[in-house]
Amino acid sequence: MTTLRSLLSSLLLATGVLGLAACGDDSTARVTVKLTDAPGDNFEKAVVTITKVYLKGSEDVVLLDEPVTVNLLTLANDAADLVKDAEVPQGTYRELRFVISGGYIQVNEDGQRRIYATSPNYAGLPEGTQADGELHMPSASSSGLKVKFDKDADVTITSEDTQKVILVDFDVAQSFGRAAGNSGRWVMGPVIKGADLQFSGNVKATLALGTGVQLPGGDTPLELSAFSAVLINADGSRETLPFSASPDGLFVANFKFLLPGTYQVDVVAPAGVSFTTAPSHPASATIGSGAETAVNFTLTSVSR
């Protein structure tokens, strides 16, 4: 999965607890919007400038109106504060929308690095960089991009909530694609999903050696840390994390800030290594509201 995550400004915080706290006025509450990203294969950068975030209701409520430029790929398996403690009147809001003024992607195409930008003069391009082609963002800078909530649920804000944070997942792999025909353009058709942060969960994948199973030795002995876990969402976006040793002796890959749903969890090995696992891989994992789901793989054979 290549999905937005370094401290970028007072609005962007790579880690931390986000909350919705009632403020002094009983008719309002404070809202935080936390941004995460599901990544995409072959993408090296996906940079956007967000100029406005607002809630649509009987009256629109602006949560952010200062430009923030962010590389979405830095947020894989992480999250950042895009809006922090914005004061919002109580009520029911039909939509959360993002206005994006521009951006660029850097992709690997047939072994070559290419950049596609909304404009040759887009301010987010690194100094001296020339774009190889155009990135088209229809409607992104006018009415804004709608965040899709499960079952098209409304966003309800009350002053009685002690914690209510909106987690927004910008799926890079599903949001950018080549334009039809031979124009050479790329188009952004965003897939942006949202949920209350309290409903998000995580997948903890572990890897261990089975009884009697030994890793191949030789000049370059194979280690469990050479294996990686891959999380695949329902849209096919993939996120890869290496297994790291934990204090209890297991090797763990922990995928965080996941919206509820069913995912596939796979295990990959270095080139030239064959292996089997129990359970067999990939395995299915269903994320419930605010829960951790464990997928425990045991290597039953390894060779190279």
**Omega before 242 cis (within 30°)?**
no
42: DSSP letter: T
Do 121 and 81 have their domain in common? yes
Q: What is the pLDDT of residues 98-125, one digit of tens each?
A: 888 899 999 888 788 899 999 999 999 9
**pLDDT greater than 70 at residue 193:** yes
Question: Is residue 12, in this structure, part of any structural domain at all?
Answer: no
Do 195 and 205 have their domain in common? no
Do 155 and 229 have their domain in common? no
Do 67 and 54 have their domain in common? yes
At 176, is the pLDDT very low, low, confident or very high (cuts 50, 70, 90)? Answer: confident
Mean pLDDT value across residues 172-183 = 78
Phi and psi (nearest 5°) for 199? -90, -10
The answer to whether the pTM exceeds 0.85 is no
Do 77 and 148 have their domain in common? yes
Do you know the residue count of the chain? Answer: 304
CA 1 – CA 198 distance, rounded (Å): 22
At 161, is the pLDDT very low, low, confident or very high (cuts 50, 70, 90)? Answer: low
Question: Is residue 1, in this structure, part of any structural domain at all?
Answer: no
3-state secondary structure of 83: strand
CA 270 – CA 142 distance, rounded (Å): 46
Q: What single string gives the DSSP state of each residue in 215-231?
A: ---SSS---GGG-EEEE
CA 63 – CA 153 distance, rounded (Å): 19
pLDDT of res. 77? 65
Do 80 and 218 have their domain in common? no
Question: What CATH number is given to the structural domain containing 253?
Answer: 2.60.40.10
Mean pLDDT value across residues 28-50 = 76
Do 162 and 224 have their domain in common? no
Query: Residue 257's domain spans which residues?
Result: 201-303
